[in-house]
Amino acid sequence: MDPGGCRMSSGGGGDGSDFGPQHGMITLEDLESFSEDQLSDSGNGSMEGEGETMDDDNQLLRYWQDVARGHQVEVPTDMAEPIHQLTTNNDGHHSRERVPFTLLTRNDKCGDALWEKRHYEKAHWACITIQEETYEQSICYGFMKIMRYICQQNTSGNYLGMTIPIVTVVRTNQDQSTLFREVTVAYYLPPEHQAQPPQALDTDVVIEEWPAIIAYTRAFGGATNEVTIINEIRTMAEILGLPDTCVSDSFIVAGYTNPAAAVRHNEIWFLERP
């Protein structure tokens, strides 16, 4: 992870003071909550051919714009095609691959995992470091740029396929009391693209080879915002009790599921120092 890119080290700007727990977060997977069946039900009658596709695309775009406005985010009209691609490729034929890892240790309590220690091999990730006025805006606008990259706006000209989790590198002050608004959003390149990663047409999205890492991970549910992330960081630090072993001012929030879902799967990752 490079300085100024996806490195897990101190950094970031802003103090997050204009952000509060009342705000939520959207990710790429919000699209999944607007299914093809919903498109059919909400249409203005039967249409065929190209006109039907155009109408569906417009409905998807309007839906995404409505969701985003609730989070103080504006979705431009040029997102219609990436939104359409991501939705139509979510049809069971394009499975979402998980980032591979080797489980080293699992700490259980009453049959439930308190935390896991994992080894992740070095790999290529598409990354964007971004800072907007609010934490949620940083994440949302970062995701939209990653979405464009996945959906053909890359040098291969192909849809690359979704992988999970989508990870967000978050940075704090040394006492872990403040979450900076600058974040790094990162997407793991599917195995078929690891050897020769397509480059993004958007120069803000960079391909980086992350080194192999040891991550201490803990699952949590619910919303991912400044308050919940800070609480999860503090809880994980207390459980691990490894102040000198892990990086103390940068962490990874990993998202696996639609944030609008009733049951959500997130993780907080602490990285072991080299």
Name the average pLDDT for the chain.
Answer: 77
User: Domain of 129: which CATH number?
Assistant: 3.20.80.10
pLDDT tier for residue 143 given thresholds of 50, 70 and 90:
confident
Q: Which residues contact 66 (CB under 8 A, 6 or more apart)?
A: none
Residue 7 lies in a domain: no
Residue 199 lies in a domain: yes
- Statement: residue 13 has pLDDT above 50: no
Total domains in the chain come to 1
Residue 11 lies in a domain: no
Q: Record the tokens describing residue 230, joined without a space.
A: 């800070």
Residue 30 lies in a domain: no
Most confident of 37-41, 139-143, 171-175, 202-206: 202-206
Residue 55 lies in a domain: no
Residue 29 lies in a domain: no
Residue 104 lies in a domain: yes
Residue 262 lies in a domain: yes
pLDDT tens-place string over residues 29-77:
444 443 334 433 433 333 333 344 556 667 777 877 776 676 667 777 7
pLDDT tens-place string over residues 97-142:
899 999 999 998 877 789 999 999 999 999 999 988 777 778 778 8
- Strand order across the 183-188 sheet: 102-109, 112-120, 213-220, 266-271, 250-255, 166-171, 183-188, 123-130, 206-210
How large a percentage of the chain has pLDDT more than 70? 72
Structural domain for 129, as ranges: 96-271
